[in-house]
Amino acid sequence: MNRLLSTLVVLLVLAGRAHAADLKGALRATGRMMLDGNAPRDVTSSGMTRDATDLVFSLLASGEGRYTADRWQLVGRYDGGVRKYLLFASEDVLVQAAALEGSLALGESLGVGVEGRAKDRRGGGRAYSDLAASAFVEYAPDARLSLRLRAGAHRFLYRQDFSASFGGPEVGLLARYRIDRRHAVSVSGEYGTRRYAISRRPPPEVDVPWTGRREDGSLLASVGYSYKGPLALGVTYSFQENSSNSFGESVQRHRLSANAGVRLPAKLMLLAQGSLGLNRYPDRVYFSPDIILLEDDEAQNSLSLKLVRPLGEHVDVELSYALYNTRMPRNDLSYFRQVAGVGLTWRL
């Protein structure tokens, strides 16, 4: 993480001093004050209520740099965020993420490279580190089509419950095709094997202990469409399957998500994002810890709205609202959370 961050800082400093067309950089910082209706992210049963509303302050900062030479390119990005609750101090979190990619052109349409990413979350009862590195081959015969094939390794460390930590190889494919200047489609897929440090769990009907470690196969496939015009629109369907040799660890997830942006009068911009999800458990139960890797994935169904207005060349003010909901009818449990806030963004 420190090496990635150091490299990115160098890129940003150079970008700020240089005027060459092949060197670019950007900085962004957002401060928000929000009202969280379910600060501890409680899952409740029917008829149960709890006053879990809290005031929260957050600060997000990001920077990116890109350097392009004759035949090679270096790209770096860093994101950091801190969230402080007024009453539920146990939910305070610090999240950092960094990514670095270097590529070399072998001709007009072929290139190779390496990429690495790291994400670290501390606090909030869900502390983890997520690390990945891979090599890739990219083919782009023209401005419309691009294909990328990658292979690498993935390591996930969950401090709250080490039984959820894993490591293993991964392969992935990404294809993008621009139909015209407004319409584009994309297809992606990745597969990885995950090896855990714990023994696999036998089904309830098995009396004798099972031998061997838990091993999973993780499959993710998605298809997306985007439109750029008076209305910016994106729609994505994804399917994720985790197939495990350990009882109660397998799951299949279907997810349909969409985002849109439109300009309104008075220099206003309205941004909307929503998702619908459906989960299926082949063993009819699910014993794995509920790991939240991304804020958008904390619930099967979600909706967020953001109203943005520039106050100047580098400052925006925003109003935001988000809703997250999950229902589990088999055990009469549900998850519901609303968050509303106001914020300021500075960008350079």
Q: What does residue 11 show for φ and ψ, rounded to 5 degrees?
A: -60, -45
Domain that holds residue 211: 2-347
pTM value is 0.85
Q: pLDDT means per 10 residues in the chain (348 residues)?
A: 50 46 88 93 68 93 93 95 94 95 94 96 86 97 95 92 91 97 97 93 80 92 96 96 92 94 95 93 76 52 95 95 81 83 96
Q: Could you tell me the CATH number of the domain that includes residue 199?
A: 2.40.160.10
pLDDT of residue 292: 44
pLDDT of residue 46: 60
pLDDT of residue 48: 59
pLDDT of residue 41: 82
Q: What is the count of structural domains for the chain? A: 1
pLDDT of residue 4: 47
pLDDT of residue 49: 58
